[in-house]
Structure 1
Amino acid sequence: MDDLATHLKELEEKLFEPSVRASRDMLTALLSRDFREIGSSGRLYTFDVIVPALLTEQRTGTSRGEFFETRRLAEHIALVTYRAIHTDVAGSERRTLRSSIWRLEEDGHWRMLFHQGTVIA
């Protein structure tokens, strides 16, 4: 389980990287075609909506995660929870609680199936 937790943490952290968020190939490698996200706005995003949005995103600042926990829900399904901190160029921080469901797909790669972020004080 430690190897899986480390692997999924690395995959989550890749999604913080601007170069990954700007690459259709990388996003396709990390997100399942069945992907769904409930954003902190409450809006639902699908794979076909989120990928183009990320490709044109003009995000500034840096993001990092902390307090990662992984729970296997089934043989090929895992839940990752953590806190994300985004720091903008002015130094202001935005903190969110994050949860992601990852699925081991038929090609042998783990891909994110579901994600939700909730803003915290």
Structure 2
Amino acid sequence: MASASDQVAAAIAGELRLLDPSVRSSRALAAQLLDPEFVEVGASGRRWTYEEMLAALPGMRGAAQDGPRAEVSGMAGVLLAPGLVHLTYETAFGEERARRSSIWRREQGSSDWRLLYHQGTPVPRA
């Protein structure tokens, strides 16, 4: 069994891959990282399912190679149970900031980590 720090590092690597424009713009690559039971409550308040997110992700901010990218800060994680990691961090797109929370899961017998749940909460402008 991988150590707690190895499991957290694997979840962080997956989260950062999902922020990469080449992954965001590719349904096939994004599908490798989203759990089939994926749910998101976005910073807009909208609830997203696996299929909805895969369909919308290529058109979202951060998907264009030459477009704006999220600035990530304060990413940290904790092992909730073997194969289950909770990440928290903050993103900024210009002056728009959001606090984010993700739960990553690795199915027993698999080496693949997938995003199970994500929530974005807007940070009010100062």
Give the TM-score taking structure 2 as reference length. Answer: 0.83
**Structure-2 residue corresponding to 1:84:** 91
The count of corresponding residues between Structure 1 and Structure 2 is 116
CA contact (8 A) 2:103 2:116 kept: yes
Offset of residue 4 of structure 1? 2.3
CA distance in 2 between partners of 1:74 and 1:58 (Å):
32
CA distance in 2 between partners of 1:58 and 1:71 (Å):
27
**Structure-2 residue corresponding to 1:90:** none
**Structure-2 residue corresponding to 1:101:** 103
CA contact (8 A) 1:96 1:117 kept: yes
SS at match of 1:62: coil
Q: For residues 110 and 58 of structure 1, do their structure 2 counterparts lie closer, same or farther at Cα, with a shift above 3 Å needed?
A: closer
Q: For residues 58 and 118 of structure 1, do their structure 2 counterparts lie closer, same or farther at Cα, with a shift above 3 Å needed?
A: closer
Percent identical among aligned pairs is 34
Offset of residue 52 of structure 1? 0.6
* Aligned pair partner of 1:5 in 4, 8, 21: 8
CA distance in 1 between partners of 2:77 and 2:20 (Å):
21
Offset of residue 58 of structure 1? 6.0
CA contact (8 A) 1:13 1:64 kept: no
Q: For residues 19 and 65 of structure 1, do their structure 2 counterparts lie closer, same or farther at Cα, with a shift above 3 Å needed?
A: same
1:40 matched to 2:47? The reply is: no
CA distance in 2 between partners of 1:117 and 1:4 (Å):
22
Give the TM-score taking structure 1 as reference length. Answer: 0.86
Q: Could you list the per-position Cα deviations for residues 84-110 of structure 1 after superposition, in whole angstroms to 9, with x for gaps in the alignment?
A: 1223xxxxx211100001000243211
Question: Unpaired segments of 5 or more residues in structure 1?
Answer: 88-92
- For the aligned residue pairs, the C-alpha RMSD in angstroms reads 1.6
**Structure-2 residue corresponding to 1:62:** 69
CA contact (8 A) 1:37 1:46 kept: yes
CA distance in 1 between partners of 2:90 and 2:60 (Å):
22
CA distance in 1 between partners of 2:122 and 2:45 (Å):
11
CA distance in 2 between partners of 1:61 and 1:103 (Å):
29
